[in-house]
Structure 1
Amino acid sequence: MRVVSGNYGGRPLKTLPGKTTRPTTDKVKGAIFNMIGPYFDGGLVLDLFAGSGSLSIEAVSRGMDEAVLVERDRQAQAIILENIQMTKEAEKFELMKMSAEKVLTMLSKKFDLILLDPPYAKEQIEKNLLIMQERELLSATVTVVCETDKSVELSETIGNLHLVKQKIYGISKISIYEF
């Protein structure tokens, strides 16, 4: 696995061995960013189930200013820290070592890009997006990227967010929401 494009393009990324995380393949990662960007002129990213940190590192590589990565698994946290070091711009990343639920009660910034790839997709995604809207954590121009198993059916509308794009890549489904 590697950073696909941008400032860190081509640099290798580490992933967690085993089945505790499901790393997004380079092909799917490239497709996601082609759907939403592919490049950005600043902004703040929230990666709520960071895994290896690959998606938020890709977003910063492609022009986002900073990323907040949330991961409660200790082994995954160690991989994220190694991947952040690889960027040589660690100041652009903040790793919060706790559950998504706890983080959502603590955050106060407005995010421009939300990355959601939770282990239990449908319930988790919809609940978390409603909490984020209630707590006003989403900018007016937010883009929300949800990665799920292709069998997961998310709602067309979640609060004030509306499904704007959806594509299937192998076993993964990418759903994009905006206000």
Structure 2
Amino acid sequence: MRIISGKFRGLGLASVGKGDAAAHLRPTSDRVRESLFNLLAASHGDPAPGARVLDLFAGTGALGLEAMSRGAVHATFVDEGAKARALLRENIEKTRTQGITKLYRRDATRMGPNRGAPFDLVFLDPPYGKGLGERSIASCVEGDWLAPDALIIWEENTPQEVPTGFTLEDRRKYGDTHMTLMRRVG
């Protein structure tokens, strides 16, 4: 796993091998990340420059760190797993982004109130097929984590229904990975 583009281009990230099923780590492949960011740049304008990024079920943090490499000004990573947080700390250190990132040990389906500025770019990659994405989005809305026009990129193993208060921007399939891109209506 490596950063695809931007100021950290080519930087290798901490590896989990093929994933860690016990820790629910299933890193988004380099190829899928590259395709996703190419899609974002081509159809939505590159949302990373100047963005505040929220990476839910962050795992290794590859999605949020890719956005940081492409010009995001801040990233907050949320993951409950000890192994994921250890990998995230290692990757934050590798990218030297300690001063512009936060790492929370928190259940992404129970975010609580946001005490800072809202986020305009959100990566949501919950364990597949457990309904955690819907609950996470609802929790983020309730806690004021999302900017009025936040772009959410939701990764699952099936196409996801867009919740009330959001509009569908795009849907893509990469192998067995489905990406649902939606924007908050604010």
Q: Equivalent pairs: percent with the same residue?
A: 31
8 Å contact kept, 2:109–2:135: no
Alpha-carbon distance, 1:107 to partner = 2.1
Q: In structure 1, what is the Cα distance between the partners aligned to 2:128 and 2:106?
A: 17
Q: In structure 2, what is the Cα distance between the partners aligned to 1:122 and 1:154?
A: 12
Q: Which residue of 1 aligns with 2:164?
A: 159
Alpha-carbon distance, 1:122 to partner = 6.1
Q: Does 1:21 align with 2:25?
A: yes
Which of the numbers 162, 175, 179 marks the counterpart of 2:180? 175
Which amino acid is 2:16 matched to? L
TM-score (norm 1): 0.90
Query: Within 5 Å, which residues of 2 pair with 1:70-149?
Result: 70-102=78-110, 104-108=111-115, 109-121=117-129, 123-149=131-157
Deviations 1:125-179 (A, max 9, x none): 1222123223332112311000111xx2421x31211111011001101110013
Quote the RMSD (CA, aligned, Å): 1.6
Segments of structure 1 that go 5 or more residues without pairing to the other structure are none
Q: Which residue of 2 aligns with 1:65?
A: 73
Which amino acid is 2:114 matched to? L
Q: In structure 2, what is the Cα distance between the partners aligned to 1:121 and 1:77?
A: 22
SS in 2 for 1:15: coil
Which of the numbers 32, 37, 47 marks the counterpart of 2:36? 32
8 Å contact kept, 2:170–2:180: yes
Change (3 A) 1:50 1:169: same
TM-score (norm 2): 0.87
Q: In structure 1, what is the Cα distance between the partners aligned to 2:103 and 2:39?
A: 26
